């Protein structure tokens, strides 16, 4: 499946309506972005079940600012609408494939439990829900590990 262009108008609906969405935040002047582009395209061909989106940060300034993207390229991964990965820097084909496999194997029930626990602690401490302020990021590390190992 070819990559799709994400804009301020379709970003939320694409993330909300697809089980897994990878987002490449790039800039036209960025050398590493141009080197990462074919790696990302190859991943989109290899994994048609995953939406691979691209955001042109020069054209989508407000969207980039809202996502707090300041380094390029930045790769984000959303699973079931939750942000489960966000790192700046171009990945090698093997590293991107490893990341995709980790995202596929995520235990989303465990992530939702952790998020609920974090919300409960935040509500008890400050009286406000953390989810409302976070808008969905899951409290997980960039390296997830494989289930059962």
Spell out the residues 6+ positions from residue 106 whose beta carbon is closer than 8 angstroms to its own: 79, 84, 140, 144
Query: What six digits make up the tokens of 76?
Result: 């984000």
Catalytic positions: 30, 33
Residues β-bridged to residue 82: 79
Sign of CA dihedral 99, 117, 16, 83: negative
Query: What six digits make up the tokens of 58?
Result: 């020069």
């Amino acid at each position: 499946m070819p990559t799709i262009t994400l804009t301020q108008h379709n970003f939320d609906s694409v993330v909300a309506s697809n089980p897994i969405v990878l987002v490449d935040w790039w800039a036209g002047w960025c050398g590493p972005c141009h080197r990462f582009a074919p790696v990302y395209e190859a991943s989109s061909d290899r994994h048609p079940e995953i939406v691979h989106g691209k955001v042109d940060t020069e054209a989508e300034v407000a969207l980039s600012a809202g996502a707090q993207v300041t380094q390029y390229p930045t790769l984000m991964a959303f699973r079931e609408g939750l942000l489960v990965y966000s790192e700046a820097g171009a990945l090698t084909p093997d590293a991107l494939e490893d990341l995709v496999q980790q995202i596929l194997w995520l235990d989303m029930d465990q992530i939702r439990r952790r998020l609920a626990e974090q919300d409960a602690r935040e509500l008890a401490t400050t009286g406000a829900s953390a989810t409302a302020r976070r808008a969905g990021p899951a409290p997980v590390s960039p390296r997830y590990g494989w289930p059962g190992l």
